[in-house]
Amino acid sequence: MTSGQYSPMTPTGRMATTAPYGHIEEPFDLCDLVFAAGASFVARGTAYHARPLSRLIAKAISTDGFAFVEAVSQCPTYFGRRNRMRNALVMLDWQKEHAVTKQAASRLSPDEMEGKFIIGEIGTRTRPEYTKRYDAIIEAASKETDKSV
């Protein structure tokens, strides 16, 4: 986003240029949405957790099928100013304090997870990559053409 507009992922109550009194909607989880839509690999990382994020991106690139990595980053210019986070470092500290791994989240109660989000691999499944499916169709069509000639 640019100019500080809120998005569907903006936490409830947070300020934005288009929500000067606070965002009133519940945020939705893009990773849940993309995995439900059939992605092969879905993950989330943060700018604070840069090394694990780079490993998630590498794994996404090497995964067959559609892969999605959400990278949570800081926006000190608009979001930070409007939400009393003085600078990028404060925002990175917020990421550190609110991000939890899937394994750690499994040990927390719903109350303890309130305001936190999961990082790491969210979901994986084996699916053929699009171009492999497309190549198989071309090969099958070629065989049909050869038979008719």
> In a structure prediction context, what are the per-residue pLDDT tens digits for the chain, which is 149 residues long?
556 787 777 888 888 888 889 888 888 899 999 999 999 999 999 999 999 999 999 999 999 999 999 999 887 777 777 888 888 898 899 999 999 999 999 999 999 999 899 999 999 999 888 888 899 999 999 888 777 66
Q: Is residue 106 part of a domain?
A: yes
Total of domains in the chain: 1
Q: Is residue 15 part of a domain?
A: no
pLDDT of residue 104: 96
Q: Is residue 9 part of a domain?
A: no
Q: Is residue 92 part of a domain?
A: yes
Which domain, by its residues, includes 126?
30-148
> What are the distances in angstroms from CA 88 to CA 49, 73, 97?
14, 9, 14
Q: What letter represents residue 110's amino acid?
A: P
Alpha-carbon distance 53 to 43, whole Å?
A: 9
Q: Is residue 56 part of a domain?
A: yes
Q: Is residue 22 part of a domain?
A: no
* Residues facing residue 42 across a β-bridge: 68, 123
Q: Is residue 3 part of a domain?
A: no
pLDDT of residue 41: 98
Yes or no: say if 117 and 44 are a contact pair by the CB < 8 Å rule: yes
Q: Is residue 12 part of a domain?
A: no
